[in-house]
A and B are shown apart, each in its own frame.
Chain A
Amino acid sequence: MARAPETTRPAGKAISARRLIAVGLGVLAMSAPSLGCGSSSKSPSKSGSGTAVTIADFSFTPNVISVKTGATVTWTNEGQTEHTVKGPGFFSPTALGHGQKYSFRFSKTGSFKYLCTLHPTLMRGTVVVKG
């Protein structure tokens, strides 16, 4: 039975081949993020502690926001489509067009879920108010 060529090679050449593989895999590991593949793993922030919420087509960002009692949260529609903001005790007076804002002051603690009435299955968010 003939032996595999690798085992008949001088030890130095076999090591060289393994090094090549190692180097190749190393290059792969290091270059993937810099080639843009890494960007897909960056997920937008899901929660925030500021008082500003950006409305896009079709999402609220952050979709969970924590604020202190008495804080005023402002939603700004940066999308091209009209959206609304409706939660328990608050509702934007009309659909917000591009660039329009709506603000509401939260005076009680609690977790307030809200949605866009025009896209209730697509756009939901929560304002968590802490003392």
Chain B
Amino acid sequence: MKKNAIVALVLALVALLLVAGCGSSSKKSSSSTTSTTAKTVGAPGATVAFVTPKDNSVSPSSTVVGKVTLTNFTLAPNAVGKAAKQGEGHLHFKMDEGKYDFPKYSGANGALAVKLGVQGKYSPSVTPTITYKGLPAGKHKLEVYLANNDHTNTGVESETSFTVK
């Protein structure tokens, strides 16, 4: 009887140690998974919408101000480039698929794009406004999406089309 109790105790100890050991392994693994799947960090409930330029509007000037409103999303200038955190980040504006996302057109935002190495792809912004200058006459499409701190797309985005006369 006593022998059986000892056997049970030893087996329980073995099982406990194995579970504990594997538990710590699993913890490391999940931590790693979190850092490698930052794109799963999103902005549930967040929205972004253009105030200007209005969709299908006509601009008499080659300078166009893009302004957006945000809900349930906090712009976090000091966290740009850091790990993604749900509900905060910054904006990525894209004019004509990045064609005008250079300092010549998007100014300081374009300069930041150069600094980050994303010129020609998008112009990062930590404010809800961006100004594009020197746009040629014709139709343009301005897109914006809410970016996580690590620049991954939250999936929340908006676009507007306008014409420069």
Contact = CB atoms under 8 A, between A and B. Distances in A.
Chains A and B are bound partners? yes
Interface of A: 5-6, 9, 13, 16-17, 20-21, 23-25, 27-28, 31-32, 35-37, 39-40, 56-58, 79-82, 84, 86, 91-95, 117-122
A94 B117 contact: yes
A40 B115 contact: no
A36 B22 contact: yes
Contacts of B152: 81
A80 B81 contact: no
A119 B13 CA distance: 44
Contacts of B39: 80-81
A37 B117 contact: no
Interface residues of B, number: 34
A37 B116 contact: no
Nearest to A9: B2
Interface stretch (B23-31, B43-51, B126-134): B23-31
A22 B152 CA distance: 53
Interface in B30-65: 35-39
B106 to A, nearest CB: 16
A36 B82 contact: no
Nearest to B152: A81
Contacts of B21: 32, 37
B18 A40 contact: no
Given A57-B37, A86-B117, 13 more contacts: A16-B3, A23-B10, A28-B18, A32-B18, A32-B21, A81-B38, A94-B120, A95-B117, A95-B118, A95-B121, A118-B151, A119-B150, A122-B35
A17 B39 CA distance: 55
Contacts of A20: 3, 6-7, 10
Contacts of A6: 2
A35 B17 CA distance: 12
